[in-house]
Amino acid sequence: MNDKHNLPRLSLGCLGGTVSMQAGLPGQGVTPQLEGNALLAGVPQLGTLARITTTSLGLLPSASLTFQIMLDVLNWARGEVERGAQAVVLTQGTDTLEESAYFLDLLWPFDAPLVMTGAMRAASQPGHDGPANLLAAVQVALTAESHGRGVLVVLNDQVHLASHVRKTASLAMAAFESPGWGPEGGVVEGRAMYRRPPLLRKVLPPPRRCGHRVALLEACLDADGALLQAIPTLGYQGLVVSGFGAGHVSAAWAQAMASIALDIPVIVATRTGSGPTASASYGFAGAEIDLQRKGMHMAGSLCPRKCRLLLWLLIGLGNEEALPSWLAAR
């Protein structure tokens, strides 16, 4: 029998999402309702693995999370580790998990794991995956080899790096992938098994200011330039364009973006969902060689949404000059 006092200390923070959702009345849609203690009570074996303290950080659908909320979550999680927690597990909705995980990963200064999880089926549905995902997340958080890997996303018994993970299915149980990379590991018989050693991590300090905004626009066939041309007048301080193929836009967009790039950083990523942008292959107007000559940055393998978070944090530090080295490291 485990002596309770010898068990590792783990902190569980809960933000809402489907993992915490149930229907108020039969036939009604599900909404976030379950606080941390209720989630914990659904997985009694957790008490044999760790001394877990729970904190309710919010009961939100993840579409309504904000940068400020995630900075507050970061402060809370840092405080937990500084006060002796060996690992932190965070539950939230899956809709924005690929973004919030990367946001926190860029700022997570510890070797101690911060593991994020959620669920695809609400707590009131048969086959609810929340308890299994929560158990797996705790098991990953308690595995020694999880140290030094930053923020990890655990769902469906897979472990993904925050910098690679994407939600690629709207309702399927297997909704998360790391396209072009694959999961970092899996949960096998109660512990994380990794396919690779940890990557070298680069971490940012928290931003000094938060009021700025970075726009994200997607290129599409025969798109007009009205929104693009409005960007400078709307006060955005950075722009990410989710481009075609290997990071391309129309000749007309390239021209409009060139004048925007005179004033604010512009990143061009790929909207394809997998693979890097090119840097030296295509020579037409609106392709990567032209865009770089016009002062824009190619995203490499970083997806458009994650580019926006990186740029927002760098601008918040007044350190936009570091953008090329961050994109090169992805």
DSSP string over 149-172: S-EEEEETTEEEETTT-EE--SS-
Q: State which residue, 26 or 29, has the beta carbon closest to ligand ASP.
A: 29
Q: State which residue, 17 or 243, has the beta carbon closest to ligand ASP.
A: 17
# of chain residues touching ligand ASP (CB under 6 A): 9
Query: Residues 18, 91, 94, 277: which is the catalytic one?
Result: 18
Rounded to whole angstroms, how far apart are CA atoms 17 and 30? 10
Sole window of 92-100, 134-142, 213-221, 309-317 interacting with ligand ASP (rule: CB under 6 A): 92-100
**Is residue 94 near ligand ASP by the rule CB under 6 A?**
yes
Backbone φ, ψ for residue 232 (5° rounding): -60, -35
Nearest approach, Cβ of residue 63 and ligand ASP (Å): 6
**151 with 135: CB under 8 angstroms?**
no
| Of residues 90, 102, 110, 122, the one with CA closest to residue 178 | 102
Nearest approach, Cβ of residue 144 and ligand ASP (Å): 30
Sole window of 88-96, 158-166, 233-241, 242-250 interacting with ligand ASP (rule: CB under 6 A): 88-96
Rounded to whole angstroms, how far apart are CA atoms 7 and 141? 13
| Chain centroid, CA 166 distance in Å | 8
Residues with Cβ < 8 Å from 307, sequence gap 6 or more? 216, 240, 267, 269, 299, 327
**Is residue 18 near ligand ASP by the rule CB under 6 A?**
yes
**123 with 23: CB under 8 angstroms?**
no
Which one of 13, 17, 185, 300 is in contact with ligand ASP (CB under 6 A)? 17
Sole window of 43-51, 91-99, 143-151, 196-204 interacting with ligand ASP (rule: CB under 6 A): 91-99
Comparing every residue's Cβ against ligand ASP, the nearest one is: 93
Q: Which two tokens stand for residue 176?
A: 């998360």
Q: Which two tokens stand for residue 242?
A: 């989710």
Residues 220-249 that bind ligand ASP (CB under 6 A): none
Please indicate whether residue 66 is annotated as part of the active site.
no
C-alpha to C-alpha distances, 309 to 54, 103, 240, 266, 285, nearest whole angstrom: 28, 6, 10, 13, 28
Nearest approach, Cβ of residue 261 and ligand ASP (Å): 33
Q: State which residue, 62 or 270, has the beta carbon closest to ligand ASP.
A: 62
Rounded to whole angstroms, how far apart are CA atoms 158 and 113? 15
Rounded to whole angstroms, how far apart are CA atoms 108 and 91? 16
Q: Which two tokens stand for residue 168?
A: 């690629």
Give the CB-side neighbour count of residue 215, counting CA atoms within 13 A: 21
Q: State which residue, 61 or 286, has the beta carbon closest to ligand ASP.
A: 61
**Is residue 117 near ligand ASP by the rule CB under 6 A?**
no
Q: State which residue, 17 or 316, has the beta carbon closest to ligand ASP.
A: 17
**Is residue 61 near ligand ASP by the rule CB under 6 A?**
yes
Rounded to whole angstroms, how far apart are CA atoms 197 and 13? 27
Q: Which two tokens stand for residue 139?
A: 């098991």
Which one of 36, 113, 118, 150 is in contact with ligand ASP (CB under 6 A)? 118
Q: Residue 294's CB: how many other CB atoms inside 10 A?
A: 18
Which one of 11, 54, 55, 62 is in contact with ligand ASP (CB under 6 A)? 62
Q: State which residue, 17 or 286, has the beta carbon closest to ligand ASP.
A: 17
Q: State which residue, 81 or 97, has the beta carbon closest to ligand ASP.
A: 97
**Is residue 131 near ligand ASP by the rule CB under 6 A?**
no
Residues contributing to the site for ligand ASP (CB under 6 A): 17-18, 61-62, 93-95, 118, 120
Could you list the active site residues?
A: 18
